[in-house]
Amino acid sequence: MTDIAWIDAALVASRPQAVAALLRYFRDLDAAEEAYQDACLRALKNWAVNGPPRDPTSWLIMVGRNAALDGVRKRSKQVAMPEEDKVSDLEDVETPMAERLDESQYRDDVLRLLFICCHPDLPATQQIALALRIVSGLSVKQIARAFLVGEAAMEQRITRAKAKVAEAGVPFETPGAVERSERLGAVMAMVYLVFNEGYSAGPKDEARGGLADEAIRLGRLLLRMFSAEPEVMGLLALMLLQHSRADARFDANGDIVLLEDQDRSNWRHKLIQEGVVIVEKAVRHQKTGPYLVQAAIAAIHARAPRFEETDWASIDALYATLERLTPSPVITLNRAVAVSKTKGPQAALDMIDPLEAKLSGYFHFHGARGGLLLQLGKANEARQSFDKAISLANTAAEAAHIRMHIDRLIADSEKTKRA
């Protein structure tokens, strides 16, 4: 890799911890970001010449802090701080800094930074935008492209979100155990939102597709800080396992390829391996949560060499657990798919029909119902469900997939007419 690529990768990797530590220091989001930017500029110059520092994150935090102080001093015409290249050569300056920033300190810093982004007053899209801007360091332009809005509009949205969280005033004291676990819950939900933005994007939507990688990066960060937390393991494993199918989920035209039709040799086996092992680790804790159960379901799919060999009975049982943990008609709908494999389409249909009132505006409800009716040979009713699904599709790929079913139904009825 070239120097620039290396430096870039190191800067991206250090960003959450560095900005989080600077935020604790300055207690102001803009000041922390500015100090970090300043440190990055100096890193580009300095690292290219002097090589990488032993601990890039500590280097960035210290240089960012000094640069900001330097600015204050210059304005008050005081003595400047030493140049950063002198500083980085002083091992004895870097060492105590690195020691002071031990894991637990990092942990609360990064958690606070992430937590600030998922303030409950912010709508989900703003939480995601703020996190991508502040934690992941994506440019406003990149984020605007991902959400299909103009750059100026996104800039405004982020500025407003920042003002709102500044008003809310998240405390800077070390959080207690209960507060920490509440923060962690909110942060995990936000990370999963980021992931789903990327996951639901089609293959042609590169701007949004990258968000899945971004979310996995954040998931890794969380697990490094909360390494014995089964739900954090579950969240990372879930994202890895879902993302392992990224190259097989769409065909050359950008249309959805269903799980049963996917070329499993195109799955990313490294991600599957890692996801499966993490689920295995988490299960040992015998403390089940929704992310872990979903990851376990994804792991069963990932482990099946062919669709026909999927262990549907286990999936049904896991969905039953998930229903108990977080009752929701969407989960029942998913469970019905497993039930249709073990007990047939009629049993599944009986399960989901009572959900109609709650899910009448949900694309997947009508799509799944249409699929079950089709299996039962009820072409007309299936057609009605598919029509409803198409009217509710969120993406072109979703609509195209249902369209394919409808086209097939039309072709079949033409054939019958002619016969």
Partner 1 sequence: MMYAVLCYNDEQMVCGWSKEQDQQVMDALHVAHEKWEKSGKLKPSVRLLPTSAATTLHKTKDMVIDGPYAETKEALLGFYLIDVENLDEALEFSRDLARANPGGAYEMRPIHIYSPGTPIPGAYVAERQYANTPSLKPEAVK
Q: Which residues bind partner 1 (CB under 8 A)?
A: 1, 5, 9-10, 12-14, 56, 213, 217, 220-221, 223-224, 227-228, 233, 236, 268, 270, 273-274, 277-278, 280-281, 284
**Contact between 347 and 338 (Cβ < 8 Å):** no
Dist CA 309 CA 327 (whole Å): 28
Q: How far is the CB of 110 from partner 1 (least distance, A)?
A: 12
Q: How far is the CB of 308 from partner 1 (least distance, A)?
A: 23
DSSP 350-374: HHHGGGHHHHTT-HHHHHHHHHHHH
Which tokens go with 187? 């942060």
Q: Which is nearer to partner 1, 34 or 247 (CB)?
A: 247
Which tokens go with 296? 């376990």
Q: Which is nearer to partner 1, 154 or 223 (CB)?
A: 223
Q: Which is nearer to partner 1, 231 or 398 (CB)?
A: 231
Q: How far is the CB of 270 from partner 1 (least distance, A)?
A: 6
**Contact between 73 and 81 (Cβ < 8 Å):** yes
Q: Which is nearer to partner 1, 289 or 370 (CB)?
A: 289
Q: Which is nearer to partner 1, 180 or 281 (CB)?
A: 281
Q: How far is the CB of 333 from partner 1 (least distance, A)?
A: 31
CA 377 centroid distance within chain:
39
**Contact between 56 and 7 (Cβ < 8 Å):** no
Q: How far is the CB of 332 from partner 1 (least distance, A)?
A: 31
How many C-beta neighbours within 10 Å does residue 104 have? 10
Which tokens go with 213? 């990688």
Q: Which is nearer to partner 1, 230 or 367 (CB)?
A: 230
Rounded to 5°, the CA angle 370-212-138 comes to 135
Which tokens go with 80? 């400047």
Q: How far is the CB of 136 from partner 1 (least distance, A)?
A: 10
